[in-house]
Structure 1
Amino acid sequence: MRAIGMIATALLVAGCMDGHPGPMPGPRVCNAGAVQGFVGAQISPRLQSRLRARSGASSVRVVRPGEAVTMDYRRDRLTVDVNQRGRVTGMRCV
């Protein structure tokens, strides 16, 4: 009886596979390289929206000098570092 159950399970799993692995569902992944041309720009809500769209990120986090940030790693979030004057100094996906 146990052997029949194992064979049935194996056939069921094999029937669901077509030999071509598909993309795994999950969070979006941002591309910080796509927005490096904005380094030096003045941060604004409009710029944040453009950065999010062009990088493919789900969210944008702006980090100012001395500001505390969480240490969680999120590959779908674009982190934008700005200086005291609000100019973008760098961007990364974390």
Structure 2
Amino acid sequence: MIRLALPLIALAVAGCKSEARPQVPAPAVPGVECNSNGLESLIGRTRSAETTAEAKRLSGANVVRYLTPGMMVTMEFRADRLNLHLGTDGKIGSARCG
């Protein structure tokens, strides 16, 4: 009897599981697009307020996101965002829009 009851209880509990709502990405600012051309001057620099301000000015991006090795990130594309990839030494190794 217990052998029959346990699977039924497991099915009943699994049936109560609610679906997770997908996260809606923040909307990009209309008319603002990132341009990653000409950002070579940022390579080798460290994260700072000055670097962020210069990255925004050079790229036209509204948002700058620093990515560290192994960091989990969302994969949605944002035309107004600049991603600065940091190496294990904390220095910028590459810059990409999105």
Give the distance between the partners of 2:31 and 2:97, measured in 1 at CA.
13
Gaps of at least 5 residues in structure 1 are 1-24
Partner AA of 1:85 in structure 2: D
**What displacement does 1:33 show?**
1.1
Q: Which stretch of the first structure deviates more once superposed, 32-41 or 69-78?
A: 32-41
Tell me which amino acid in the other structure corresponds to 2:43. Answer: V
Q: Which amino acid aligns with 1:38?
A: L
Q: What amino acid sits opposite 1:78 in the alignment?
A: L
In the alignment, which residue of structure 2 is the partner of 1:36?
A: 40
Return the match for 1:76 from 71, 75, 80.
80
How much does 1:75 deviate? 1.0
User: Which residue matches 2:62?
Assistant: 58
Q: CA deviation at 1:27?
A: 3.7
Q: Hey, what's the Cα distance between the residues in 2 that align with 1:27 and 1:81? A: 25
In the TM superposition, what are the counterparts of 1:10-25 in structure 2 within 5 Å? none
Runs of 5+ in structure 2 lacking a partner?
1-28
Structure 1 residue 74: Cα displacement: 0.4
State the superposition RMSD in angstroms.
1.5
CA distance in 2, matches of 1:65, 1:86: 10
Q: Which runs of 4+ in 1 moved over 6 A?
A: none
Percent identical across equivalent pairs?
30
**Greater fraction helix:** 1
- AA partner of residue 82 (structure 1): L
* Number of positions where the alignment pairs a residue of Structure 1 with one of Structure 2: 70
